[in-house]
Amino acid sequence: MLRELAPDLAANLAANLATALIVLNFVSFAAFGIDKALAERGRRRISEARLLQLAFFGGTPGAYAGRALFRHKTRKQPFCARLHTVAALQVLALAAAGAWWLSR
C-alpha cells in the first residue's frame, strides 16, 4: 500500500515545492521594489539581511530580477558579493543533488 502511495506523495511534494518557490520568488522580487520605494521616500527600509534571507531560501531569481528591474542594490559591493555567494552556493547544492539523484 505504501508503495502505491509513494508516487502520489512525490508528485504532491514536487507541486508544493514548486508553488512555494514561485511564491518566494515573487516575495523576493516585490521586496526589492518595496525597498527601493522606501529608499526614495527616505523611510525605514527592508534590511539587507532580510533581502539576502529571501534569496537564500530560494528567492534568488526573484532577487536578481528585482535588482535589475528596480535598479536597486546594484552598486553596493558587499551586498552584491553576498548575493552572488548565495547564488553560487545554490548552484553547487543543485549540482550535488543532481549528481546524487543520478547516482542512485
- Inter-residue contact 59 to 24 (CB < 8 Å): yes
**CA gap 66, 16 in Å, rounded:** 24
pLDDT of residue 9: 77
82 within 8 A of 70, measured Cβ to Cβ: no
Q: What is the pLDDT of residue 12?
A: 86
Give me the pLDDT at residue 101, please.
86
Using alpha carbons, list the distances in angstroms from residue 34 to 27, 51, 66, 76, 90. Answer: 10, 11, 10, 17, 25
Output Rg (C-alpha) for the chain, integer angstroms: 17
CB atoms near residue 61 (< 10 Å): 17
What pLDDT does 31 receive? 97
Q: Point out the residues of the chain with pLDDT beneath 50.
A: 2
